[in-house]
Structure 1
Amino acid sequence: MKILIVSDTHRRNENFEKVLLAEKPVERVIHLGDAEETESCMSRIAGQPLDIVSGNNDFFGDMPREKEIMLGDYRVLLTHGHYYYVSLDTKMLGREARARGFDIAMYGHTHRPKIEKKDGLVLLNPGSLSYPRQEGRKPSYIIMELDEKGNADYTIKYLE
């Protein structure tokens, strides 16, 4: 199973559409907030099952603040991250995810891609497809793949 994870597109969907074309087929799309579009609009753009949460700039629509999903055998928390102060560090998010029994916590907000593995928990941030803030400032996203045995692999990818 191939899963596309994005965040912080901020209504600039050109790069999102490029990534969808470049990575197809994907079985699922996850958007971690600051889409600044309604969920139904994002679903039409993605064309696949879409899991989306609201970010600090998503004022319209009825997207949930957080979402819990299963990806294979992995229990996953989706959040934008601003309620957990991820711009400072991921300690609060990590504590909350562990306390609630999650295997993976996915977040956005910082516009910087990151994969952290700590004490049995994976923290993923795909960065931003529209306004990247990491060194080099390339738009970024994550591909998560589940193999035949259900093991997960994560790759940060950059749009050229």
Structure 2
Amino acid sequence: MHRYLVVSDTHGRDDNFYKVLDIEGKLDGIIHCGDFEGSEGKFAIAADCPVYFVAGNNDFFSTLGRELSFSLDGHKAFLTHGHQYLVSMDLENLRSEGIARGAELIFYGHTHKPVAKTMGGVYIFNPGSLAYPRQEGRRPSYLILTIENDDIKYEIKYL
């Protein structure tokens, strides 16, 4: 069994990221959906596990790519911040791009609102924001993804 932390939209307010690392303990990877605003290097060092990071629309000086395709325990994944796929309107553009890339798991951020669902045969995840949450209740959020063989489980968590 492998556990992955999925976060997004930390916007340079890093305290909650470090709190989550303390809460969750041993992780097999960290996925950040962009909008670090300069913290990506510090996060990679603190992670103590593989990291999968992309730049967001506010990461003006980042050298990170805007999209990343990778594999998690044999499951193809697609990671993007999401703004270029108009995720604030709906998720169809993002879902179509993920499917075109052969992804089973699609990760995005940008909206600052958590989403975890299956849509047309793929998993779509947005962990929300650890810094500036916009969902009802406005609690900082993140997602824990657990993969054991073909069993994929996920949970949105709140600080």
Give the TM-score normalised by structure 2.
0.95
Q: Deviations over 1:53-112 (max 9, x none)?
A: 000000112101100110112100000000100011101101111122111110000000
Partner of 1:137: 138
Q: Deviations over 1:22-44 (max 9, x none)?
A: 00111111110001115322212
Where structure 1 has 5 or more consecutive residues not aligned to the other structure, the ranges are none
Alpha-carbon distance between aligned partners in 1 of 2:24 and 2:40, rounded to the nearest angstrom: 21
Alpha-carbon distance between aligned partners in 2 of 1:47 and 1:58, rounded to the nearest angstrom: 23
State the identity as a percent. Answer: 46
Alpha-carbon distance between aligned partners in 1 of 2:110 and 2:155, rounded to the nearest angstrom: 19
Q: CA deviation at 1:48?
A: 2.4
Partner of 2:102: 101
Partner of 2:23: 22
Q: Deviations over 1:99-153 (max 9, x none)?
A: 2211111000000000120221111000000000000000000000012x34210
Structure 2 residue 158 is matched with structure 1 residue 158:
yes
CA RMSD of aligned residues (A): 1.1
Give the secondary-structure state (helix, strand or coil) at the position aligned to 2:57: coil
Q: What letter matches 1:154 in structure 2?
A: Y
Where structure 2 has 5 or more consecutive residues not aligned to the other structure, the ranges are none
Alpha-carbon distance between aligned partners in 1 of 2:150 and 2:15, rounded to the nearest angstrom: 32
CA contact (8 A) 1:78 1:107 kept: yes
Q: After TM superposition, which residue ranges in structure 1, 4 or more long, deviate above 4 angstroms?
A: none
Partner of 1:73: 74
Alpha-carbon distance between aligned partners in 2 of 1:41 and 1:94, rounded to the nearest angstrom: 31
Alpha-carbon distance between aligned partners in 1 of 2:150 and 2:106, rounded to the nearest angstrom: 17
